Structure 1
Amino acid sequence: MKYAIGSANPAKVKAVESMVNDSVVPLDVPSGVSPQPFSDEETRLGAVNRAKACVEKGAELGFGLEGGVTEIGETLFLCNWGALADQDGWLIVASGAKIPLPDEIAAPIRAGNELGEVMARFTSDKDIRKKAGAVGVLTNGEMARDEMFMHIVKLLYGQYQFQKSYK
């Protein structure tokens, strides 16, 4: 397989497919981090672990995309990280946009709930994480989850192409 994404989430698969203009194999691989990553560092590590696991399962290029939250000051922010790994040992990482979470969403996350579960209750849509996601809700539909991840995939793939051209 040429391209794989370490997730079966349709928003993540769509983000990678739109960038590489090819089919992408979704692989159910562990992130190796908590179900609700609670820092940039943990979210980044989840993306890296997913990308590397794709390569270990035979992908030429493996993508890992991970959503999480991070505390900046007293505000909880949505954060997203991506990683791209290849069979030659290259590892590229990039982060996406951050937006603050309203208190009514941040409070249950701080109490131990996952963002996806909180957003499902908030929107009455149990599959919101597979569609617009928190970013889609909190931007009033101006940016969907797949679009946010597309931004990260562009950063990853662009860096990869640049670095490979100077290898």
Structure 2
Amino acid sequence: MATSSNIVVASTNPVKIKGALEGFSCMFPQTKYGARGVKTPSGVSDQPFTSEETLLGAQNRVQNAKKLEPAADYWIGIEGGVEEHGGVLLLFAWIVILDKEGREGKARTASFYLPEEISKLVRSGMELGDAQDQVFVKTNSKQHNGTVGLLTDDVIDRSATYATGVIMALIPFKNKNLTF
């Protein structure tokens, strides 16, 4: 008999909610999941510029989601960020997951270099979503395929990137007998 769990994602972005559900469903296929998003502040810049700031944003979001929805089984904070790497901007996200039993999982998604056309706009103060929309002449692509989808012609999209990150952040939940 399948069990059921509620997930609260610290975002109302459908791409993040979909990625969370896909990650949980892949890691624990015997459980049925329901997920809903809540709007939470990150407490960091709109466009984080270091791994540390990005991780802090994910941690803040997950704690804020837990305060808003304390009855959930799991809470997830997802924060995207960039960092300078050899003169090029590297894009990634941090994912932090908490459960009602006090466990925590963290993972950083795969990362990739941004083209200079986007990087220049981000360095000038534009948020990544707005920069990619300007370069690719799109509207609100961050709630669809995202930067990775635009750059790969949707071979991989933003929700798939998040789903893989969620799977990695769930490693401590899958291996409860190990110390993380």
TM band (smaller chain): over 0.9
Q: Which runs of 5+ in 2 are unaligned?
A: 26-32
**Comparing 105-114 with 78-87, which one deviates more in the overlay?**
78-87
Q: How does 1:1-167 map to 2 (within 5 A)?
A: 2-21=6-25, 22-57=33-68, 58=70, 59-162=72-175, 164-166=176-178
The two structures have a TM-score, normalised by structure 1, of: 0.92
Bigger Rg over Cα: 2
Confirm or deny: 8 A CA contact 2:40 2:61 kept in the other structure: yes
Cα distance in 2 for residues equivalent to 1:71 and 1:130: 24
Q: Over the residues paired in the alignment, what is the CA RMSD in angstroms?
A: 1.6
| 4+ long deviations beyond 6 Å | none
Q: What percentage of residue pairs aligned between the two structures are identical?
A: 32
Confirm or deny: 8 A CA contact 2:95 2:169 kept in the other structure: yes
Confirm or deny: 8 A CA contact 2:105 2:171 kept in the other structure: no
**Comparing 93-102 with 132-141, which one deviates more in the overlay?**
132-141
Confirm or deny: 8 A CA contact 1:55 1:86 kept in the other structure: no
Q: How big is the shift at 1:91?
A: 2.2
2:147 partner SS: helix
Number of residue equivalences: 166
Q: Which runs of 5+ in 1 are unaligned?
A: none
**Comparing 78-87 with 50-59, which one deviates more in the overlay?**
50-59
Confirm or deny: 8 A CA contact 1:39 1:70 kept in the other structure: yes
The two structures have a TM-score, normalised by structure 2, of: 0.86
Cα distance in 1 for residues equivalent to 2:173 and 2:63: 15
